[in-house]
């Protein structure tokens, strides 16, 4: 059985998709189509933008979606999964990759989602952190004991959990989690997030 799992916000990097653009006419056409749909040259930011530019939610989410879908399309006949899935934002990539949604409709939905989340996080900034090698119950307890808003948001797999909430509360929780024995409690490069997010990795 072959499955493809598409990533969510936080997996962006400068240079993403550049090689695809330069080596595939299909990829180039899809990048240019994306630039038109989104209303600015997001491909330029993807290929050579700064980390700060790529962390902006209204850039990050469509950038990851575009890169994921184009990568799948460029694979052509080699892309024959038995199933697809995605982490939060990646669910949209998965739906387009398996032809449930068109590329254009999927991108428009992602743009609306990203813009809404950008507005929300500008009102009340939040962030996320990955916690490794600590029991879920201990993470949940420490979050409850930390002043401010910080909650367990994503149970990725045994031994890996993501927390989210107010920036300072998440930072404080990370310190407590590390002291409690977590192998790592690492802030994720997700830009600002609405602090109320509590069920998705974005």
Query: Which residue, 121, 144, 161, sits at the end of a domain?
Result: 121
pLDDT one-digit tens code per residue, 43-85: 999 999 998 899 888 999 999 999 999 999 999 999 999 999 9
Which pair of structure tokens corresponds to residue 138?
């201990």
199 domain residue, yes or no: no
200 domain residue, yes or no: no
pLDDT one-digit tens code per residue, 158-179: 999 999 999 999 999 999 999 9
What's this model's pTM, rounded to 2 decimal places? Answer: 0.76
**Cα–Cα dist 186/169, whole Å:** 13
Identify whether the C-beta of residue 17 lies closer than 8 Å to the C-beta of residue 47. Answer: yes
Residues 103 and 55 in one domain: yes
Cα atoms found within 13 Å of the Cα of residue 138, Cβ hemisphere only: 15
H/E segment holding residue 129: strand 125-132
Q: How many domains does the chain have?
A: 2
Residues 16 and 95 in one domain: yes
**Cα–Cα dist 197/128, whole Å:** 9
3-state secondary structure labels for all residues of 81-108: CCEEEECCHHHHHHHHHCCCCCHHHHHH
Residues 7 and 106 in one domain: yes
pLDDT one-digit tens code per residue, 82-139: 999 998 899 999 999 999 999 999 999 999 999 998 887 777 778 889 999 999 999 9
Residue 136 belongs to a domain with what CATH number? 3.30.70.250
Residues 139 and 109 in one domain: no
Burial (CB count <10 Å: 0-12, 13-18, 19+), residue 43: buried
Identify whether the C-beta of residue 92 lies closer than 8 Å to the C-beta of residue 75. Answer: no
Residues 103 and 159 in one domain: no
Query: Which residue, 66, 86, 121, sits at the end of a domain?
Result: 121
Identify whether the C-beta of residue 18 lies closer than 8 Å to the C-beta of residue 79. Answer: no
Residues 82 and 141 in one domain: no
Query: Which residue, 121, 149, 172, sits at the end of a domain?
Result: 121
User: Which domain, by its residues, includes 38?
Assistant: 3-121
Residues 10 and 21 in one domain: yes
Cβ-based neighbours of 31, under 8 Å, separated by 6 or more:
17, 20, 21, 43, 66, 70
Residues 111 and 136 in one domain: no
Nearest by Cα to 70 from 38, 30, 22, 120: 30
């Amino acid at each position: 059985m072959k499955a493809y799992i598409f990533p969510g916000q936080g997996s962006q990097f400068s240079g993403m998709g550049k090689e695809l653009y330069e080596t595939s006419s299909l990829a180039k056409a899809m990048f240019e189509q994306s630039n038109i749909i989104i209303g600015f040259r997001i491909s330029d930011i993807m290929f050579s933008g700064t980390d700060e530019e790529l962390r902006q939610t209204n850039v990050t989410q469509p950038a990851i979606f575009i890169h994921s879908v184009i990568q799948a399309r460029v694979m052509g006949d080699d892309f024959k999964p038995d199933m697809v899935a995605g982490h939060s934002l990646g669910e949209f990539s998965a739906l387009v990759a398996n032809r449930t949604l068109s590329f254009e409709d999927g991108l428009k939905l992602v743009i609306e989602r990203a813009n809404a989340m950008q507005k929300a996080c500008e009102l009340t900034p939040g962030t996320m952190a990955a916690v490794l090698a600590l029991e879920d119950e201990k993470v949940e307890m420490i979050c409850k004991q930390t002043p401010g808003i910080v909650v367990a948001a994503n149970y990725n797999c045994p031994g890996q959990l993501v927390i989210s909430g107010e920036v300072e509360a998440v930072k404080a929780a990370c310190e407590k989690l590390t002291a409690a024995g977590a192998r790592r409690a690492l802030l994720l490069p997700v830009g600002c997030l609405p602090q109320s997010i509590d069920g998705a990795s974005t």
